[in-house]
Amino acid sequence: MRAFFLVPPEVQLLDITGPAHLFYEAREYGAEIETHYLAMGNSVEERSSAGIALGNLQPYSHFSLLQDDLLFIPGLESYLLFASSFKEKNQRFFDWLQIQNQNKAKICSICTGAYVLAIAGLLDGKECTTHWKYFEDFAQKFPKVNLLQDRLLVKDDNLYSSAGVSSGIDLALFILEELYGSVFASKIAKEVVIYLRRSPSDPQLSVFLQYRNHIETRIHQVQDALAQNLDIKKSIEDLAEKVHMSPRNLTRLFKKTTGITIGNYLDKLRVEKAVQLLSKGEKVSAVSLACGLRSTTQLRTLLKKYTSSLPKELAL
């Protein structure tokens, strides 16, 4: 597959270098990825907003993207995006971008890169997110777009968007997981020492990847408290006190933010932990205690509920 990274004028440096480095690491781990760096205009070199020049760029017009290809569009300085001449000056690029969208290439915006997709008309009737500072402006300029303001990253069909700067790294990992699986993505995250909205002491499990796709700090704190202390029973009252909320408000916000109840989330954490420990040969009684369960019967019931088959250690 091919991964393309657009380098526009005044590019936000981390927007482009974060995802690009993750795909470099993916290649080092054996992924067959061909990378290209594209100029938005005719220049073979562009200067980032931080002042560092990025060279050896290729003209975007030399490529036609396919369904398996990726295109990352980073953020750039707002004075360029908001200039009245921006669309007219780059109309050929926007026309090219529409064609790549029609080809179903995976197009991924980072930070204010969402403006580029929206100006091209790709996001009409679609969901997306962007940097929090630009929510109000973006919503006014593009009323046909369903802007989500409480999300770290958003996927709508072949279009991806992320909240800003470092969230491009989260987006790159999310895509690598889609392409190569959660085990591969966790290896890349570990290689670059990324804290992916989870406890650093826990293995990078799919339950975290699935339910951490938000930027609600209080809910992240609750998720961390549960994941780091599975062996200790915590009541809703304990959790609510930790984040200075009432139990009722916490229950409501957790479900709204993650799409799952606290109880179901805790069950899934316990299942992930139990399967991991059992695969290492841990005793069933010890696994039950490590997961905060009172008996092996409780563990058996939980695994029956969430897995298709019981491990041989628990089979009747």
Q: Is 50 part of any domain? A: yes
pLDDT value of residue 281: 85
Last residue of a domain, one of 182, 210, 233: 182
Q: Give the contacts of 68 (CB within 8 A, at least 6 positions apart).
A: 1, 2
Please check whether residues 272 and 171 belong to one and the same domain. no
Going by pLDDT thresholds of 50, 70 and 90, the confidence category of residue 229 is confident
Please check whether residues 204 and 177 belong to one and the same domain. no
Q: Which 8-state DSSP code applies to residue 143?
A: T
Q: Is 187 part of any domain? A: no
pLDDT value of residue 104: 97
Please check whether residues 11 and 110 belong to one and the same domain. yes
Last residue of a domain, one of 150, 182, 214: 182
Please check whether residues 209 and 316 belong to one and the same domain. yes
Please check whether residues 68 and 166 belong to one and the same domain. yes
Domain that holds residue 217: 198-316
Please check whether residues 36 and 143 belong to one and the same domain. yes
Please check whether residues 34 and 112 belong to one and the same domain. yes
Query: What are the distances in angstroms from CA 49 to CA 1, 28, 76?
Result: 30, 29, 8
* pTM of the model as a whole: 0.68
Query: What are the distances in angstroms from CA 181 to CA 55, 177, 185, 187?
Result: 32, 4, 6, 10
The whole-number average pLDDT for the span 125-130 is 95
Q: Give the Cα separation of 41 and 89 in Å (integer).
A: 9
Residue 209 has pLDDT above 60, yes or no: no
pLDDT digits (tens, 9 = 90+) for 49-64: 999 999 999 999 999 9
Q: Is 149 part of any domain? A: yes
Q: Which 8-state DSSP code applies to residue 308?
A: S
Going by pLDDT thresholds of 50, 70 and 90, the confidence category of residue 214 is confident
Identify which of 94-98, 209-213, 294-298 has the greatest average pLDDT. Answer: 94-98
Please check whether residues 7 and 136 belong to one and the same domain. yes
Q: DSSP readout, 43-54?
A: -S-EE-TTS-EE
Closest CA to 192 of 51, 36, 29: 29
Looking at the structure of the chain, the number of domains it has is 2
Please check whether residues 132 and 217 belong to one and the same domain. no
Q: Give the contacts of 17 (CB within 8 A, at least 6 positions apart).
A: none
Residue 262 sits in a domain of what CATH number? 1.10.10.60
Q: Is 213 part of any domain? A: yes
Please check whether residues 164 and 204 belong to one and the same domain. no
pLDDT value of residue 312: 61
Please check whether residues 244 and 97 belong to one and the same domain. no
Q: Give the Cα separation of 45 and 8 in Å (integer).
A: 10
CA dihedral 63, 69, 74, 78 (to 10 degrees): 60
Please check whether residues 237 and 157 belong to one and the same domain. no
Q: Is 16 part of any domain? A: yes
Q: Is 188 part of any domain? A: no
Q: Is 214 part of any domain? A: yes
Contacts of 264-271 with C-beta under 8 Å, sequence gap 24+, read 265/207, 265/211, 265/223, 265/226, 266/226, 267/302, 267/305, 267/306, 268/207, 268/211, 268/306, 269/207, 269/226, 269/227, 269/230, 270/230, 270/302, 271/302, 271/303, 271/306, 271/307
Q: Is 122 part of any domain? A: yes
Pure H helices in the chain: 13-28, 78-81, 86-89, 91-102, 113-119, 135-141, 167-180, 182-191, 206-211, 217-228, 236-242, 247-258, 262-279, 284-290, 296-306
Last residue of a domain, one of 151, 182, 213: 182
Residue 87 sits in a domain of what CATH number? 3.40.50.880
